[in-house]
C-alpha cells in the first residue's frame, strides 16, 4: 500500500502547485513553464513577421519585442505616421536595421487589397514566415440594445478580415511546408464577457475557425497560435464599438487599474510564438482563475458568474477589482 500512499501524496502536491501557480501567475501554467524553460524569442531571429494593428497597443509593443529578437518586420495599420513612429522605436533596440522593417499601411476591411499587400511584403522580404492577426476593435454595449449592424461590423473586422488575410498568406506557407499563423484572440474568446456580446461572439468564432485550421495543417508544416489576453493596458477603449452603428466609445484606461502592462503582454506573446504554443492565456487574477474554472468546471463557472452579478463582473473586466 506504500505506493498508493505516495501516489496520493504526489497527486495532492501536484494540484497544490497548480493552484498556487494559477493564483499567483499572470498566464496559464504551460506558458509560465515555457517562459522559464522554453525557447526564447531570439530563436525567431531573421523570421519575416507581418503584424496587423501594429500602430498601437499590443501590436505596437509586440513589434518592439520582435525587433529586439532580430526579426524582419512588416508593420501594418491604417495610420502611416503612427507606423513610422513604431518603426523608429524598433530601430532604437539596436537589434534591427532600417532595411529589415517595412511600413505597409493597410485597412484590413478592404479585403480586395490583401493580395496586393501580400505581394508588397514578398517583394521586400521574399515571403511571410509569421502572420500576426492583431488588428481589431472591442465593444461596450448591452446585448439587447446593440444594433444588428454593429454585430455585422464586428464580425467583418474581427473575423472576416482575419480569415481573408490568412487565406491570402496560407497557400504560400503550405507550399513551403513552413509557416506560423498567430491570432490575437481574447479571454472573451473563451468565456462570455457581459456588455461585450458582439466582441465575445466574434472572438468565439475566431477560436472555432482556427481550432479547425490548426488540426488540418498540423502535418503540413504550419502552426496556429491563439493568444487570449485578459485586461491589458492599451487604447482599445477609445475605438471600441458601442450599441450604435458608426459610433466609437472614446473611453480611456486609468493609471492604477488592475490590468497587465502592455510590455508584459508582448513579452508573453513573443514566448508563445517562439515555442509555437497552440493556445495561451494572459491575464492577472481573478480572471485567470475564472478561465481555469470555466475550462474544467463550466457549469460551476456559469453559476458563479450569475451569482457574482453584472456589476462585479464589470468592475473586474475594467480593472477596478
Separation CA 14–CA 23 (nearest Å): 14
Which residues does the annotation mark as catalytic? 199
Rounded Cα distance between 100 and 83, Å, is 14
Calculate ∠ Cα 55-157-238, nearest 5°: 50
CA–CA dist 46, 315 (Å, integer): 42
* CA–CA separation, 229 and 187 (whole Å): 6
Total count of residues recorded for the chain: 321
CB contact at 8 A, 282 and 228: yes
- The per-residue DSSP string of 114-166 comes to HHHHHHHHHHHHSS-SEEEE-----B-B-GGGS-HHHHHHHHIIIIIHHHHHH
Are 67 and 90 spatial neighbours (Cβ–Cβ below 8 Å)? yes
Residue in 276, 278, 277, 281 with CA at minimum distance from that of residue 44: 276
In terms of Cβ atoms closer than 10 Å to its own Cβ (0-12, 13-18, 19+), residue 35 is: middle
How does DSSP classify residue 95? S
Q: Do residues 189 and 204 make contact, with C-beta atoms less than 8 angstroms apart?
A: yes
The whole-angstrom separation of Cα 98 and Cα 268 is 26
Amino acid at each position: 500500500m506504500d505506493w498508493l500512499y505516495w501516489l496520493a501524496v504526489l497527486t495532492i502536491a501536484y494540484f497544490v502547485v497548480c493552484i498556487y501557480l494559477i493564483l499567483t501567475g499572470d498566464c496559464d501554467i504551460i506558458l509560465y513553464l515555457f517562459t522559464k524553460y522554453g525557447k526564447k524569442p531570439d530563436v525567431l531571429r531573421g523570421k519575416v513577421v507581418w503584424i496587423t494593428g501594429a500602430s498601437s497597443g499590443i501590436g505596437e509593443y509586440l513589434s518592439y519585442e520582435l525587433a529586439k529578437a532580430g526579426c524582419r518586420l512588416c508593420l501594418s495599420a491604417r495610420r502611416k505616421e503612427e507606423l513610422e513612429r513604431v518603426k523608429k522605436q524598433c530601430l532604437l533596440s539596436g537589434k534591427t536595421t532600417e532595411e529589415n522593417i517595412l511600413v505597409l499601411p493597410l485597412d484590413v476591411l478592404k479585403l480586395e487589397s490583401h493580395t496586393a499587400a501580400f505581394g508588397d511584403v514578398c517583394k521586400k522580404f521574399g515571403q511571410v514566415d509569421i502572420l500576426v492577426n492583431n488588428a481589431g476593435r472591442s465593444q461596450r454595449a448591452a446585448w439587447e440594445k446593440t444594433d444588428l449592424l454593429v454585430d455585422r461590423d464586428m464580425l467583418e473586422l474581427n473575423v472576416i478580415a482575419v480569415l481573408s488575410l490568412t487565406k491570402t498568406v496560407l497557400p504560400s506557407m503550405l507550399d513551403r511546408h513552413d509557416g506560423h499563423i498567430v491570432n490575437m484572440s481574447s479571454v472573451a474568446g473563451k468565456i462570455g464577457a457581459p456588455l461585450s456580446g458582439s466582441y465575445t461572439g466574434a472572438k468565439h468564432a475566431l477560436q472555432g475557425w482556427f481550432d479547425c485550421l490548426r488540426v488540418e495543417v498540423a502535418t503540413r508544416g504550419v502552426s496556429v497560435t491563439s493568444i487570449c489576453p485578459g485586461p491589458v493596458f492599451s487604447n482599445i477603449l477609445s475605438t471600441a464599438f458601442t450599441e450604435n452603428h458608426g459610433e466609437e466609445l472614446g473611453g480611456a484606461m486609468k493609471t492604477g487599474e488592475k490590468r497587465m502592462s502592455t510590455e508584459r503582454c508582448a513579452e508573453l506573446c513573443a514566448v508563445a510564438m517562439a515555442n509555437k504554443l497552440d493556445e495561451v492565456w494572459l491575464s492577472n487574477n481573478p480572471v485567470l482563475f475564472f478561465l481555469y474554472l470555466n475550462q474544467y468546471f463550466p457549469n460551476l463557472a456559469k453559476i458563479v458568474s450569475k451569482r457574482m452579478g453584472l456589476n462585479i463582473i464589470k468592475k473586474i473586466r475594467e480593472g477596478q477589482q
